[in-house]
Amino acid sequence: MVDDDELSAPPPPPRSGRPADILRSPPPAPAQASSAGRWEIPSFERDSTDLAAGLDESWNGDVFNDVRSVSPPAPTQSPPLPPPPASASLPIDTPRRASLDSSALTEISQRIGAQVLASAQALATLAKNRVIGDGTSAGYVQSVLEGVPSVAPVRPDSGEFGHVIFSQTASTVQLRKSDIAPGDVVHVQQAHFSGRRLLKNYKEDIEEAYGVVVEFERKGGKIRVLKANQSANAYPAVESHNWKLEDLKSGTIRVLRIGEAES
């Protein structure tokens, strides 16, 4: 029989210097000599291969992820080309027609000047109770020229009704190629007139106006014209008016000779 004291006896203590809770990996296998007497190194091929494969897989994955995360640079675009410069407009005193000498301009006036004046006077008669054209001074001149088949066509709203034969700014004459004659067109722009009219002092400011020459007096350079009356509801819609070259204090006055249509 087993004594009770033997059953209650404690277990034997562990060996000194080797605690039971510490586990150590077995030592590497020692190198062994082959049958030929040469030493052989233990093979770690599998472990090193697996390690390299793991490193390769991890390195390649990180690099590919980095490459995919970097977006390609946006293509550079050259700056847009500047717009072409706008063509410079011609000065107001630059004729848009072929330049003619004094003799040719005089011949044109003799052939069609009377026709232009007759058309202007006919429309002035109709204007006693109606508006001519669009009611503006340029519109009146345009309507006058439309009644003369032999004149050269004029672009609507261009204001260039013919060859510039005379130009004066303030008191300075800038151009004189022919004598002012009936049937010519007068263009007054940004003008200020000051002088005496009918024995009285007068002042007149004109932003822009056109008229057809009826008569020209050399004394004082007085030009009598037919032009549109632009007062509201005023008749006749065409009126007779005088401008004196010697009374022009500022602004510009030009005289244009109507051109002939090409035959």
Q: Running along the chain, 263 residues long, what does each successive block of 10 average in pLDDT?
A: 51 53 52 50 50 49 50 61 47 52 93 96 95 93 93 74 95 95 96 92 95 94 95 93 96 94 77
Contact 229, 144 (CB under 8 A): no
Q: What is the pLDDT of residue 154?
A: 79
Q: What is the pLDDT of residue 197?
A: 87
Distance, in Å, from the CA atom of 151 to the CA atom of 261, rounded to the nearest integer, reads 5
C-alpha distance from residue 163 to each of 67, 159, 198, 224 (Å): 75, 12, 33, 20
Kindly state the tokens that stand for 51: 């390690």
Q: What is the pLDDT of residue 75?
A: 58
Per-residue pLDDT of 136-167, as tens digits, reads 999 999 999 999 999 988 775 666 789 999 99
Q: What is the pLDDT of residue 153?
A: 81
Tokens 């107001």 belong to: 92
Report DSSP letters for 98-132, one per residue. ----HHHHHHHHHHHHHHHHHHHHHHHHHTTSS--
Verdict on whether the full-model pTM lies above 0.85: no
Order of strands across the sheet that contains 162-169: 172-176, 162-169, 248-258, 185-197, 200-217, 222-228, 238-244
